[in-house]
Amino acid sequence: MSDRRLEKTSALLDNQVADQQQLASELDVLLADEEACQSWQRYALIGQVMRGEAELNQPLDISAQIRSRLAAEPAVKDTVVKPDFGQRGRPAGNSGGILIDAASRWLKPAGSIAIAASVAVVAVLSVQQPLIDPAGTDGVEPTLVTTPFGGRNPVSYNTVIEDNNPSQAELAQQRQLLQAYMRDHQHQLQLSLQERQSEAEPEVSPAAPVKPKADSNDNN
């Protein structure tokens, strides 16, 4: 590409071509020439950098990289979630085939979207990493609400000394009670939601396979 044409490209970019007709024809020439297009892109980038508009540290064109990455990705299908839903609670002989079919197909999306989901987790993890307290997690109180308490064995009672500090067993019991409150709250919310629904719309939606409401008087 000649220096003169480079100069033209640069002039075009900086809006330095005064004559409208000349501008149009120069643009046509430019767009027809791939090499010129590339230099146009470079000039535009240089302009952006000089004006401080360009995003630094960004690969300029990641489409090619993504394409090659995707091609290299192994085709993962149904390997993440093992379908076992169909086997449980299957009524013996009673339209079992349809149920299993439906149930196993139900699992399919979990397999095919699992990659996207795992990528998402990694993204969130890496953001959260710096926030983790290096002092350890022993003292983090709120986790006691969300984690199950199976690991804690009650300590024998003869070690208990009369003081203000509760024993391990008492603590375990208190945590259990705490959990019970949390669960009870959830339970009541759901019952209340159900109650509100049956008050609000007594008619059953046409296609929903809802049992006849024999048990609706249980809610009180």
Partner 1 sequence: MTTIKWCIFGIFCLVVSGNALAQQPEQANDSVERAENAGMIWFDRMSEALRRLNFEATLVQTQGDRIQPMLWMHGRHTDDLEVELLIYLNGADIRILRLGDHTSYYFQPTDNSYSLQSDVTYGLLPAAFYDKFERLQPYYQVLAGRGMRVTGRETQYLRLVSRDNSRYHYSLWVDRESGMLMKMQMMTPQGEILEQIQLTSFQQRAELPVSLNDLRGVQRPPRLHDSRPVSPAQLGLVPGWMPAGFELQRSNRRYLYETQVAADYFLYSDGLTDVSVYLSEASEQGLPPLAFEGPESFINAIINGHSVTVVGKLPLDTLRRIAENISTTKTAVN
Show contacts with partner 1 in window 49-88 (CB under 8 A). Answer: 81, 84-85, 88
**Binding-site member from 35, 61, 73, 141 for partner 1 (CB under 8 A):** 141
Helices (H) and strands (E) in the chain, counts: 7, 0
Which of 6, 37, 49, 102 touches partner 1 by CB under 8 A?
A: 102
Residues between 173 and 212 that touch partner 1 (CB under 8 A): 173-174, 177-178, 180-185, 187-198, 201, 204-211
User: Does residue 89 interact with partner 1 by CB under 8 A?
Assistant: yes
Q: Which is nearer to partner 1, 24 or 144 (CB)?
A: 144
Give the burial class of 9: count Cβ atoms within 10 A of its Cβ; 0-12 exposed, 13-18 middle, 19 or more buried: buried
| Residue 149 within binding range of partner 1, rule CB under 8 A | no
Q: Please, what is the minimum distance in Å from the beta carbon of residue 40 to partner 1?
A: 27
Taking CB under 8 A as the criterion, the residue among 32, 71, 92, 125 binding partner 1 is: 125
Distance in angstroms (rounded) separating the CA atoms of residues 205 and 20: 67
Instruction: Indicate which single residue of 98, 139, 157, 161 sits in contact with partner 1 (rule: CB under 8 A).
Output: 98
Judged by CB under 8 A, does residue 7 bind partner 1?
no
Kindly state the smallest distance separating residue 191's Cβ from partner 1, in Å: 6
Evaluate whether 198 touches 216 at the Cβ level (below 8 Å): yes
The residue among 18, 62, 61, 11 whose CA lies nearest residue 40 is 11
Q: Are 195 and 216 in contact (CB under 8 A)?
A: no
CB 145 within 8 A of CB 176: no
Q: Are 41 and 33 in contact (CB under 8 A)?
A: no
Residue 13 has, within 13 A of its CA and on its CB side, a CA count of: 20
Task: Name which position in 60, 75, 132, 161 contacts partner 1 (CB under 8 A).
Answer: 132
Site string for partner 1, 29-48 (x = CB under 8 A): --------------------
